[in-house]
Amino acid sequence: MKKSSLLSTIAFVFIMLLSTNVDAQKFRGLDKSPMDAALYKTSRNAPAMAKVVYSRPQLKGRELSALAPNGKVWRTGANEAASITFYSDMKIGGKAVSAGEYSLFTIPGEKEWTIIINKDINVWGAYSYNEANDVIRVSAPVSSGESLEAFSITFSEGNLHLGWGTTRATVSITK
């Protein structure tokens, strides 16, 4: 009787371990607004100067103004507020920012976007945005280009570019 009970217990533990292992290998599907990153380097072998981590919402037939309304603080992407890390002291739109990690908010507009570097990090959306924690605000002129389905951020030739739909906002980024 004791041997049978011991074997039953061992079999039960083995089955539980096996089923736990199977459950641990279930993966979520692709996020509707996948996370991405843009890295700023002056050349392929140069050290990184800045990095933006953000989520990429899609237009899916919707208007940009409905997703990122003009005149309202926007998280600059989807899900968590975009984060921007400066690996050394930099200038954004001519204004100094110390090395460190920040959130990146924007205020879209027809002719220009306001780029906001904010001390708060790891925040969801712009719901808890606090203007008192802004490090800098700079204006980025708006232009138009080929339509982009997914919100996109890139660096090139000393500029930070944000694009979605046919809207483009560009601001300088220098040492």
* pTM: predicted TM-score of the whole model, two decimal places: 0.83
Mean pLDDT over residues 23-46, rounded?
89
pLDDT band at 165 (very low <50, low <70, confident <90, very high): very high
Question: In what order do the strands lie in the sheet containing 100-107?
Answer: 35-40, 50-55, 82-86, 100-107, 112-118, 134-156, 159-174, 90-92, 95-97
Residue 28: the pLDDT is 84
What letter would DSSP give residue 59? -
Contact assessment for residue 90 and residue 66, using Cβ atoms and an 8 Å cutoff: no
Say how far apart CA 96 and CA 6 lie, in whole Å: 70
Chain Cα centroid distance, residue 127: 15
pLDDT in tens, 83-98: 999 999 999 999 999 9
pLDDT surpasses 70 at 81 = yes
Nearest to residue 104, comparing CAs of 89, 91, 90, 121? Answer: 121
Q: What does the mean pLDDT of the chain come to? A: 91
Residue 26: the pLDDT is 87
Q: Of 21 and 99, which is predicted with more confidence? A: 99
Instruction: Using DSSP, state whether 114 is helix, strand or coil.
Output: strand
Sequence-distant (6+) residues with CB within 8 A of 34 are: 55, 56
pLDDT band at 19 (very low <50, low <70, confident <90, very high): low
Residue 58: the pLDDT is 96
